[in-house]
Amino acid sequence: MTPTTFRNLALPAFLAALLISPAVCSAAADAGIFVNAKPATHTSPDIYRDGWIDLNKNGVKDAYEDPALPHERRIEDLVARMTLEEKTAQMVTWYGYPRVAKDELPTPAWDTAFWKDGIGNIDEHMNGNTGWTNSNPTPKHALPWSLHARAINEVQRWFIENTRLGIPVDFTNEGIRGLLHSNATAFPHEISVGATWNTSLVREMGRVVGREARALGYTNVYSPVLDVARDPRWGRIVESFSEDPFLTGELGLQQVLGIQEQNVVSTLKHFAIYSIPKGGRDGHARTDPQATWREVQTIFMPPFKRAIKDGGALGVMSSYNDYDGIPVQASKRFLTEILRGEYGFRGYVVSDSGAVEFIHGKHRTAVTPADAIRQSVEAGLNIRTNFTPPEAYAEPLRQLVRDGRLSMETIDSRVRDILRVKYWLGLFDRPYVAAPDAAEKIVRAPAHMAVARQAEREGIVLLKNENNVLPLDAKKLKRVLVAGPLADDKHGWWSRYGAQLLDFVTPLDGIRAKLSNANPAVEVRHAKGVDVKDKNFPESDVYKDAPDAEVRAGIDAAVAAAKDVDIIIAALGETDDLCRESASRISLNLPGYQEELIKALHATGKPVILVLSNGRPLSVNWAAKHIPAIVEMWLPGEEGGGAIADVLFGDYNPAGRLPVTFPKSAGQIQMNFPAHPGSQDRDYGQVSGVLWPFGHGLSYTTFTYSNLKITPAEQGPQGRVEVSCEVTNSGSRAGDEVVQLYVRDDYSSVVTFEKVLRGFERVNLAPGETKTVHFTLKPEHLALYDKLHQWTVESGHFTVMVGASSEDIRLRGGFDIIGGAFAREKPADVKESVDPR
- Burial of 345 per CB tally in 10 Å (0-12, 13-18, 19+): buried
Q: How many CB atoms lie within 10 A of CB 625?
A: 9
Cα torsion angle, 613, 248, 444, 168, sign: positive
Q: How many CB atoms lie within 10 A of CB 682?
A: 12
Q: Distance (Å, rounded) from C-alpha 94 to C-alpha 120?
A: 8
DSSP, collapsed to helix, strand or coil, labels residue 730 as coil
- The residues carrying an active-site annotation are 352
Q: Distance (Å, rounded) from C-alpha 590 to C-alpha 247?
A: 27
Q: Distance (Å, rounded) from C-alpha 689 to C-alpha 799?
A: 23
Q: Which of 792, 736, 674, 726 is nearest to 247 (CA)?
A: 674
Q: Write the DSSP symbol of residue 64.
A: G
Q: Please provide residue 422's backbone torsions phi and psi, each rounded to the nearest 5 degrees.
A: -65, -35
Q: Are 619 and 665 in contact (CB under 8 A)?
A: yes
Q: Distance (Å, rounded) from C-alpha 374 to C-alpha 376?
A: 5
- Burial of 279 per CB tally in 10 Å (0-12, 13-18, 19+): middle
The neighbouring-strand residues paired with 172 are 123, 220
Q: Distance (Å, rounded) from C-alpha 593 to C-alpha 555?
A: 9
The neighbouring-strand residues paired with 48 are 53
Q: Which helix (H) or strand (E) covers residue 715, if one does?
A: strand 714-715
Query: Under 8 Å CB-to-CB from 577, ≥6 apart: which residues?
Result: 583
Q: Distance (Å, rounded) from C-alpha 806 to C-alpha 68?
A: 53
Q: Distance (Å, rounded) from C-alpha 98 to C-alpha 127?
A: 9
Q: How many CB atoms lie within 10 A of CB 765?
A: 20
Q: Distance (Å, rounded) from C-alpha 527 to C-alpha 420?
A: 57
Q: Distance (Å, rounded) from C-alpha 351 to C-alpha 382?
A: 8
Q: Are strands 322-323 and 714-715 parallel, antiparallel or unpaired?
A: unpaired
Q: Please provide residue 786's backbone torsions phi and psi, each rounded to the nearest 5 degrees.
A: -85, -175
Q: Distance (Å, rounded) from C-alpha 693 to C-alpha 696?
A: 6
Q: Distance (Å, rounded) from C-alpha 620 to C-alpha 665?
A: 9
Q: Distance (Å, rounded) from C-alpha 189 to C-alpha 191?
A: 6
Q: Which of 239, 251, 305 is nearest to 275 (CA)?
A: 239
Q: Write the DSSP symbol of residue 367.
A: S
Exposure b/e, 496-512, CB count within 10 A at least 16 = b: bbbbbebebbbbbbbbb
Q: Which helix (H) or strand (E) covers residue 212, if one does?
A: helix 199-216
Q: Distance (Å, rounded) from C-alpha 282 to C-alpha 274?
A: 10
What is the CB-side half-sphere exposure of residue 90 using CA atoms within 13 A?
A: 27
The neighbouring-strand residues paired with 571 are 611
DSSP, collapsed to helix, strand or coil, labels residue 132 as coil
Q: Distance (Å, rounded) from C-alpha 269 to C-alpha 421?
A: 17
Say which amino acid occupies 542.
V
**272: preceding bond cis by omega (within 30 degrees):** yes
Q: Which of 397, 386, 399, 331 is nearest to 363 (CA)?
A: 331
